[in-house]
């Protein structure tokens, strides 16, 4: 199967507070409630199209890449703090351009962390906030603190060593298909993600949009971010859809999601037999879970 993201209904070229450019795209049904989506570290939201395409008939869908990812040009400033301010600029621009509307946020990994930091800094702005496998860092003394920090530091080291360019899209897609965490993506998703996170050179080779050093820095920042401290005040309004934390090799984001459920009463739904990229592994199953939650939050 070959996925092709449709041409957007509109594109907003937004200048952030520090001068960075972030491109926001509008898709879907402009008469319906609003759904805003973004992605995980090193990826791009177009690569999640196998998931968010299902919402196009029933939602006014806005998608955007975090700075230095996807559609966005390179900018030197690359921090969780700046991405937090970016989200506020994006929300204000969407409302200014298209009016206020019942709005849900649906954010994976990196963008889930950013959405929590945004709520701490700017207040809770959502009729529904859905987080996918958030890589939260529990504070020192928590039973998961050491394992989560080790996991993020390991990812940071890997990101600094990873290849930055490939002979073509197919080489990167083949790499995705060969890894334990990505080999269960739906057919066609590896090729789509490879196109979404790279830019082509004149000689036919492709290079990562987000440099490995930038990706690595975010893992380091995430290893001690303040996002965990946002949970108690937001617990009743959050909904987490996470990877399968019941498997023998469950990754920290899934284990953290289970801890958040037991410690703070956040509603958490694990998706059986999925890993961190659950939206691309089981898009229809995740869609059904999200739709049920949105109905419960008053989205019709």
Strand partners, 39: none
d(CA 258, CA 267): 10
Query: What pLDDT digit, counting tens, does each position of 33-66 carry?
Result: 999 999 999 999 999 999 999 999 999 999 999 9
CATH number of the structural domain spanning residue 256: 3.40.50.1820
Tell me the sheet residues that pair with 62: 26, 36
Range of the domain at 91: 10-138+226-296
Reading across the β-sheet that carries 165-166, which strands appear in turn? 165-166, 206-208, 198-200
The reply to whether the predicted model has a pTM over 0.75 is: yes
Task: Give the pLDDT score at 204.
Answer: 87
Task: Tell me if residue 54 falls in helix, strand or coil.
Answer: helix
In a domain, 265, yes or no: yes
> Residue 269 forms beta bridges with which residues?
241
Domain-embedded: residue 146: no
Distance of alpha carbon 260 from alpha carbon 262, whole angstroms:
6
Average pLDDT rounded to a whole number, residues 277-281: 98
Q: If you average pLDDT over residues 286-294, what whole number do you get?
A: 98
Task: Please tell me the predicted confidence (pLDDT) of residue 107.
Answer: 99
Does residue 109 lie in a domain region?
yes
Q: Token pair for residue 208?
A: 């990562």
Q: Is residue 197 part of a domain?
A: no
Task: Confirm whether 204 is domain-assigned.
Answer: no
CB atoms within 10 A of CB 178: 10
**What Å distances lie between residue 289 and 55, 60, 239, 298, CA to CA?**
12, 19, 10, 15
Beta strands at 103-108 and 206-208: parallel, antiparallel or unpaired: unpaired
Residue 160 lies in a domain: no
Tell whether 215 is covered by a domain: no
Phi, psi of 281 (to 5 degrees): -85, -40
Rounded to 10°, the helix 252-264/145-161 angle is 150
């Amino acid at each position: 199967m070959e996925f092709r993201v449709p041409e957007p209904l509109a594109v907003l070229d937004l200048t952030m507070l520090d001068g960075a450019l972030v491109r926001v795209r509008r898709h879907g049904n402009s008469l319906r409630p609003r759904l805003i989506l973004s992605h995980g570290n090193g990826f791009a939201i177009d690569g999640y199209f196998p998931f968010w395409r299902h919402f196009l008939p029933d939602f006014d869908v806005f998608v955007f890449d975090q700075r230095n990812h996807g559609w966005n040009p390179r900018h030197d400033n690359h921090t969780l703090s700046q991405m937090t301010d970016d989200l506020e600029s994006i929300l204000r621009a969407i409302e200014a351009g298209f009016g206020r509307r019942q709005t849900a946020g649906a954010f994976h990994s990196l963008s889930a962390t950013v959405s929590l930091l945004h709520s701490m800094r700017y207040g809770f702005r959502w009729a529904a906030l859905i987080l996918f496998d958030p890589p939260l860092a529990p504070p020192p003394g928590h039973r998961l603190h050491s394992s989560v920090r080790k996991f993020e530091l390991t990812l940071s080291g890997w990101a600094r060593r990873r290849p930055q360019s490939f002979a073509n899209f197919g080489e990167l897609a083949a790499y995705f298909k060969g890894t334990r965490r990505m080999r269960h993506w739906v057919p066609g998703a590896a090729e789509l993600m490879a196109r979404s996170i790279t830019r082509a050179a004149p000689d036919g080779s492709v290079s990562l949009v987000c440099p490995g050093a930038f990706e690595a820095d975010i893992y380091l920042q995430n290893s001690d971010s303040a996002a965990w401290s946002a949970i108690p005040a937001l617990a009743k309004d959050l909904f987490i859809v996470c990877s399968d934390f019941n498997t023998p090799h469950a990754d920290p984001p899934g284990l953290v999601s289970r801890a958040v459920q037991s410690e703070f009463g956040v509603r958490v739904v694990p998706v059986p037999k999925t890993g961190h990229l659950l939206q691309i592994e089981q898009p229809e199953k995740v869609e059904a879970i999200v739709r049920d939650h949105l109905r419960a939050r008053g989205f019709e």
